[in-house]
Amino acid sequence: MTLSRLLLAITCAAASVAALAAPIKRIDIYVTPSYEASKGGAAPKVAVGKTYDTLLASNSREDIVRARDDINRNNSLVTPMTMMVLAIRLYDVGLRDDAVFWFYAAKDRYLTLDEVVDVGPGGLAQVEDAVRSFSTLAGPIINGYAFCGIANQQKIRAKALDWVEQNPYEAIFMERLPAKNADRRQSLAAAVALIRQNAAKERDYLADAANAAKFRADRARNGTDEKYCWKS
């Protein structure tokens, strides 16, 4: 399975993961060397770039909000891994809608890169591995919350993709990274269109009343709402 299909599958199916009894209020995952969740109240270990490592490793909600706002203003070369860590930390401090947005934006930013650039020969295999790990480990938790309300999830999903289209990842245009096709901007536009098609398939699937009812029933059976739909 390609990474793009894996990420789509995680988005569509994460809410059906078997439940644990307690509400999940933190994302305790490890993605070496980018992120190691905190232990015993200590700060997490973050290694995604000097600009944001300190802010993202803070246990202060204000620092995480500052990182979010800084990245939103100046993001042309912010990596998908940085955005994944931002999503995790936003979840940790209770800003879960923001966490959903940045998780989707990180995923889509990587997918645009992968569609335009030949990732392996470009020396970006570690980036692919990191995004896969973040998606596999954090995705079920973030989507577990996101799908507490299908309409809200779809709203955030669309907003994140719009953001990715409006804020293209400038690494895509670096000549040192081999392009799959000569016209990188055309490839980028095609990548965004493909992601939109996949998002539309998910939206259309859940627009069917029978599918939505089954989806909700699966969540109820697995205790998913108890895990993720707690009130702040």
Q: For residue 16, give the nearest of 210, 208, 231, 223 by alpha carbon.
A: 223
Strand partners, 31: 35
Per-position pLDDT tens, the chain of length 232: 555 555 555 455 544 444 345 899 999 999 999 999 988 778 999 999 999 999 999 999 999 999 999 999 999 999 999 999 999 999 999 999 999 999 999 999 999 999 999 988 767 889 999 999 999 999 999 999 999 999 999 999 999 999 999 999 999 999 999 999 999 999 999 999 999 999 999 999 999 999 999 999 999 999 999 999 998 7
Q: Is the pTM of this model over 0.75?
A: yes
Alpha helix positions (H), 74-183: 80-92, 96-116, 125-146, 150-166
Burial class (CB in 10 A: 0-12, 13-18, 19+), 210: exposed
Strand partners, 137: none
The pLDDT value given to residue 15: 43
Cα distance between residue 213 and residue 3, in whole Å: 29
Cα distance between residue 137 and residue 151, in whole Å: 24
